[in-house]
Structure 1
Amino acid sequence: MANSESVAPGTSALFTPLRIRGVEARNRVMISPMQQYAGGSDGLAGDYHLAHVGRFALGGAGMVIMEATAIEPIGRNSWGDLGLWSDMHVEPLARCAALIKSCGSVSGIQMVHAGRKASINPPWLGGMPLGAADAERGSPPWAVIGPSAVAAGPEWPLPMEMSAADIQASVVLWANAARRAADAGFQIIDLHGAHGYLLHSFLSPLANHRTDLYGGPIENRMRYCYEVVDAIRAAIPDEIAIFYRLSALDGIEGGWTLDDSVVFCRGLLARGVDVIDCSSGGATGDRKSDTRIRRGYAFHAPYSRVLRAETGGLVATVGLIVDPFQAEAILEAGDADIVAIGREALFNPNWPHHARNALSGENFSAWNKEAGWWLKRRGFLLRELENQGETPMSRYSGQGDGQ
């Protein structure tokens, strides 16, 4: 579907359904994939992950995308990442996909290879590369790979440069993981091609110093990513949508640019990618190196606007989207077709429901009936008390009857 689809007058853009290939989302709110580092060394999804995604689906999101899952063990960020490198991962993930769909959301999963930014601690332990002290605690580091033997930063390990044979083997791993995602019942596969991970590393001149068919001019640096997309599109049923999470620019002198992204995204869409999932930065291990990216509310919207206008494809935007009217304005302005929320959903899993109430005045009609009727009764009682002049502190401030 082209991004020129109009929204009927008087209708909330955020809560207009969206058809993407073989699936229809009930609204334009997407829960962005967020790593939880809770998978254990085997990469298996557990009850925690089921509860984690279930609350977002019950919260009213149109699409819920599960966290980054690695296509091979060395492609994990950390020991706690989920995996899709084995058939044993399918059944636990299938529970999550089924729950998401049963609650009315479209189920998605992100696939990743962390490349030269693999083998790190979780964020609450610093998010830096594993070392000897971590090995003593049972979390040893592992060898990392990349397009070139160029470390992500001064304190980061030197990756092994992938050979042409390694690259072709990696493409097969991506396709096999996508098949497993399809077998698990996911309706969207989101490829993590941002934030300095393997796909992004091949694109960025900061990480890719190759001189063969996979390096040098942009046509060569895009080659690996295109081969991955082609292999995945061929490996999965046609009705499954492919999203591509992209760093629209590196924000560093000599790095990947927004103009590069326009060229790249045109090729992605031609190869069967359905949505460009727009992010930015992260090309190196130094979180402060991308000085040309100013972080603020909806700070990726200017980039997603350009990608949408220049490619004609569907585009999602993410990044400090916290308010329903802000989200509505993003869509009405033509900056994106989908609004992705992450940390805001962790803070308030019911954000989509609250957004609908704020934008349309609907009173719990879209909530699941098991909760909605309780909330309607609560609303009636609260309004009754408000009409009587009661407040939550009346009993304790001498305003109530004290009974």
Structure 2
Amino acid sequence: MGSTSTIPSPHIVKAEGLPYFTPANNGGAARNAQDPSTPTLFRPLRIRDMVLKNRIMVAPMCMYSAESSPASPAVGALTDFHIAHLGHLASKGAGLVFIEATAVQPNGRISPNDSGLWQEGTDSEQFKGLRRVVDFAHSQGAKLGIQLAHAGRKASTVSPWLSAQQGQKSIRADESVGGWPSNVVGPSGGEEHQWSPGDIQYWPPRELSTAEVEEVVRAFARSAELSVKAGVDVIEIHAAHGYLVNEFMSPVTNHRTDKYGGSFENRVRIIREIAMATRAVIPSGMPLLLRISATEWLENDAIAAQRGSWDMESSVRLAKMLPELGIDLLDVSSGGNHKDQRIQPHTNYQIDLAGQLRKEIHAAGQKTLVGAVGFITEAENARRIVQGADEARSTEAMLSGEEPKADAVLMARQFLREPEWVLTAAKKLGVKVWLPLQFARGLL
């Protein structure tokens, strides 16, 4: 037989942690992040031991696509849909992709179809579903975060598209569709604390006992510990938008007389305890984030005059406590806790709130990072928000008068409209980035 010769194949690095082949990708990373012309948006961001390849984060977005039957072992577990949805965003260059609000207790879901992480052990369907999403995101060069949450009095509603089919904005979920109307909870209970903006009706909450609040704290820590075991890179505590932790923070929704109610210190006690319990079970180098509603937009409302409200002054006070709680980044949103809120949305309405809080944090000599979210759709706007936020360029930013409003941007719906936003933004801003290998021919 004649001799044969072979041509060596180009070296392709296979992504680790997957039982099938995909090349290890790192789309969205600047090819030369140290180039002075590279905008801060595409420069790495270090948070404790984690380094993001850029400052673009996919904010948590509820997909209402998990199993809803309480009898199913897969209830609340992430599915192939979530791998397709979140994995696609990871492959298209986002530095950090957040899994949607994930309930730490069964009654903490917004709807029966929400994600959850309350099943104990690493052999549960919830854990296995989470691990699969984490592994794929990592193979694409993205970091994966999880937002741990409890919906409080906003729980037990049906998926929004089911409500829309009935011509309504929201429909309460009863037991026939997997709901829990008798176990919707809040810091305070009764019909007066029912979340009912306009003609939308939710279930009246019952008041949590002190022991039950303490169990909620432990539930956050247990879910955080499971997240770490699944390989998650970042934990975010959801304390915004009128969900349970936010309800405790505000004197409008918290009428308690125990250690979790009354004074500012008592109302934020749940944040202190959740943060410290979570920090105790996650690695010291792992980032811990907190999302808040910086204001309830009730400053000139009658109820605020009567009881007070959560406002920017409250948020500044809380922000200065965060270093001692082990919080590394403050994710700044707003509203969602009272039907009479008066918001006039415009492009920078929440970005300005983030900028104010960042300025106060720095004036206090602290280094807590700040994330901005809301109406961020254009590359140039995102660039301006964080430009100069990296330490090496802070002096340049001060001299130019272009003080950054945040250290990172979080975007949600824009990624539903434009999954390749990171790559498109890089092109618009003249930044050369690495492309996902499978898509490179169509993106050049």
Task: Give yes or no for the alignment of 1:71 onto 2:71.
Answer: no
- Give the unaligned 5+ runs of structure 1: 1-6, 377-403
Partner of 2:55: 28
Partner of 1:113: 150
Q: Distance in 2 between matches of 1:370 and 1:261?
A: 44
Q: Distance in 1 between matches of 2:436 and 2:226?
A: 30
Partner of 2:240: 194
- Give, in angstroms, the shift of residue 157 of structure 1: 2.3
Q: Distance in 2 between matches of 1:210 and 1:47?
A: 42
The answer as to whether partners of 1:147 and 1:209 remain within 8 angstroms in 2 is: yes
How many residues are aligned here?
362
Q: Give the alignment's TM-score, normalised by structure 1.
A: 0.86
Closer, same or farther: CA 127–272 of 1 in aligned 2, 3 Å: farther
Q: Distance in 1 between matches of 2:111 and 2:211?
A: 25
Matches within 5 A, 1:1-400: 9-41=36-68, 42-86=75-119, 87=121, 88=124, 89-124=126-161, 125=163, 126=168, 128-130=170-172, 135-136=175-176, 141-149=181-189, 150-153=193-196, 155-252=201-298, 253=301, 254=304, 255-284=309-338, 286=339, 289-291=340-342, 293-312=343-362, 313-332=368-387, 333-362=403-432, 365-376=433-444
The answer as to whether partners of 1:74 and 1:142 remain within 8 angstroms in 2 is: no
Give the secondary-structure state (helix, strand or coil) at the position aligned to 2:336: coil
- Give, in angstroms, the shift of residue 260 of structure 1: 0.2
- Give, in angstroms, the shift of residue 100 of structure 1: 1.0
- Give, in angstroms, the shift of residue 135 of structure 1: 4.8
Q: Distance in 1 between matches of 2:281 and 2:169?
A: 34
Q: Distance in 2 between matches of 1:207 and 1:324?
A: 38
Q: Distance in 1 between matches of 2:232 and 2:84?
A: 17
Q: Distance in 2 between matches of 1:153 and 1:371?
A: 46
RMSD: 1.7
Closer, same or farther: CA 316–211 of 1 in aligned 2, 3 Å: same
Please list the CA deviations of residues 351-386 of structure 1 after superposition, one character each: whole Å capped at 9, or x if unmatched. Answer: 011111111253xx421122214433xxxxxxxxxx
Q: Distance in 2 between matches of 1:328 and 1:160?
A: 45
Q: Distance in 1 between matches of 2:225 and 2:112?
A: 23
- Give, in angstroms, the shift of residue 239 of structure 1: 1.9
Question: Quick one: which amino acid aligns to residue 331 of structure 2?
Answer: D
The answer as to whether partners of 1:119 and 1:142 remain within 8 angstroms in 2 is: no
- Give, in angstroms, the shift of residue 212 of structure 1: 2.0
- Give, in angstroms, the shift of residue 102 of structure 1: 1.2
Please list the CA deviations of residues 249-299 of structure 1 after superposition, one character each: whole Å capped at 9, or x if unmatched. Answer: 000131200110011122123211111011000003x3xx210x3212232
- Give, in angstroms, the shift of residue 164 of structure 1: 1.3
Closer, same or farther: CA 211–59 of 1 in aligned 2, 3 Å: same
Please list the CA deviations of residues 82-134 of structure 1 after superposition, one character each: whole Å capped at 9, or x if unmatched. Answer: 11001311111011111111111111011110011111122221453515xx5
Q: Distance in 1 between matches of 2:356 and 2:90?
A: 30
Q: Give the alignment's TM-score, normalised by structure 2.
A: 0.78
Please list the CA deviations of residues 297-320 of structure 1 after superposition, one character each: whole Å capped at 9, or x if unmatched. Answer: 232111001111111320011111
Question: Quick one: which amino acid aligns to residue 99 of structure 2?
Answer: M
Closer, same or farther: CA 137–82 of 1 in aligned 2, 3 Å: closer
Q: Distance in 2 between matches of 1:361 and 1:24?
A: 19
The answer as to whether partners of 1:214 and 1:223 remain within 8 angstroms in 2 is: yes
Give the secondary-structure state (helix, strand or coil) at the position aligned to 2:423: helix
Displaced runs of 4+ in structure 1, greater than 3 A? Answer: 134-142
Q: Percent identity?
A: 37
Q: Distance in 1 between matches of 2:117 and 2:227?
A: 7
- Give, in angstroms, the shift of residue 156 of structure 1: 2.9
Q: Distance in 2 between matches of 1:264 and 1:142?
A: 33
- Give, in angstroms, the shift of residue 152 of structure 1: 2.1
- Give, in angstroms, the shift of residue 9 of structure 1: 4.2
Please list the CA deviations of residues 375-398 of structure 1 after superposition, one character each: whole Å capped at 9, or x if unmatched. Answer: 33xxxxxxxxxxxxxxxxxxxxxx
Closer, same or farther: CA 72–140 of 1 in aligned 2, 3 Å: closer
Q: Distance in 1 between matches of 2:286 and 2:406?
A: 21
- Give the unaligned 5+ runs of structure 2: 1-33, 69-74, 363-367, 388-402
Question: Quick one: which amino acid aligns to residue 193 of structure 1?
Answer: A
